[in-house]
Amino acid sequence: MTNPRNIEILEPDENEGYGQWKLPCSRDEEIAEVVLELSQGRMEGRQLSERYAPVLRAFAERMANLARRHESARDLRLGLDALAIAVLLGESREAILIMPLLWRSAEVLELDPAKEFTKAADRHDVKELRAFIDRQPEDRSIESMGYVETHDESGFSYERNW
């Protein structure tokens, strides 16, 4: 079981503006450790609070970007797990904005997005991830949620255009 102090890594006050921090950063790996432990049942869910959901959602978005930059299935799966946990904490409306990024990253990595979403949905029992699979292709696109693909000096990124 994880040290309960580790969950503090998800505190919003400690992650102000985290979604905009330089990619990658050391906080990404710290949060990844917590997400892995939660996904593998090594940390008790009762330690979680709804206030952690925005940090997990930001992490999921960052992992969608890093999955593309690093060509990493691991980053993609961490993002899906984090998003699933955020949904369980009550973040389903906001989480839907990130799902197309993870879907697109899976496509580019030549993984089966439906299979990746199903595995994460099964691990966490999250119906929202399953429902996303059944959307029409145009409703799963990054453009449908206000994102575009860009490149800058740091590499690939999904950028909000709203």
Q: What is residue 21's three-state secondary structure?
A: coil
pTM of the model: 0.94
Confidence category of residue 105, pLDDT binned at 50, 70, 90:
very high
Domain boundaries, the chain: 4-160
Measured over the CA atoms of residue 71, residue 105, residue 87 and residue 114, the dihedral's sign is negative
User: Which of 55, 148, 54, 61 minimizes the C-alpha distance to 97?
Assistant: 61
| Phi and psi, residue 94, nearest 5° | -75, -30
Q: Judging by beta carbons within 10 Å of its beta carbon (0-12, 13-18, 19+), is residue 117 exposed, middle or buried?
A: buried
pLDDT, tens only, 44-92: 666 789 999 999 999 999 999 999 999 999 999 999 999 999 999 987 9
Convert 75-96 into a string of H (helix), E (strand) and C (coil): HHHHHHHHHHHHHHCCCHHHHC
Strands (E), the chain: 147-152, 155-160
* C-alpha distances out from residue 18 to 24, 43, 71, 137, Å: 11, 23, 22, 30
Residues 6+ apart with CB under 8 A from 70: none
- Buried b / exposed e across 92-108, counting CB within 10 Å, b at 16+? beebbbbbbbbbbbbee
What pLDDT is attached to residue 3? 52
- Position 93: which residue type? R
- The answer on pLDDT for 5 being more than 80 is no
What pLDDT is attached to residue 152? 86
